[in-house]
Homo-oligomer: A and B are copies of this chain.
């Protein structure tokens, strides 16, 4: 699986459960959200604009995605919603590694580019380094309709938070996906 295939597999609507483990406080917080991931062509104006923001040639973009989320976390009970654009730019010599451009960072609301790589079991790892923060996220599909994510956050060099998300595809999967999903489940 390369990054374009990973994005294609991620496209759609997902029901997500999120848990954040605040390591220093030994407290955990639960959240729920709906996530929509829309695949964008590399010629999409939003992709071109994000590339220009990072001084990256839009022709080198692998693809793009618009991610929207709408959810709540237990502690503040407030609505958390937003949207961002992601653009992966693969390394010329290795299509399984590259840079991920983001309109907005996960941990900070400033634009920041991360690095990604996809390993031999099709797990995507994203590493983002902020000024005083480091985040590593791993994403993988247990089946075409079950996506799991885990991340760890360091602040000032110390572990600060570990989080885990389980995401179930909403709505009707494409017939071929349903078949392969059932087959995969049966096979295991």
Assembly of this chain: how many copies? 2
Given A15-B26, A17-B26, the answer on whether A143 and B164 have CB atoms closer than 8 Å is no
A154 to B159, CA, bound (A): 31
**Any chain B CB within 8 A of the CB of A81?**
no
**Any chain B CB within 8 A of the CB of A28?**
yes
SS of A interface (majority): strand
Whether the pair B154, A188 counts as a contact (CB closer than 8 A) is yes
**Any chain B CB within 8 A of the CB of A186?**
yes
Whether the pair B188, A159 counts as a contact (CB closer than 8 A) is no
Binds B, one of A48-56, A97-105, A145-153: A145-153
Residue of B nearest to A19 (CB): B19
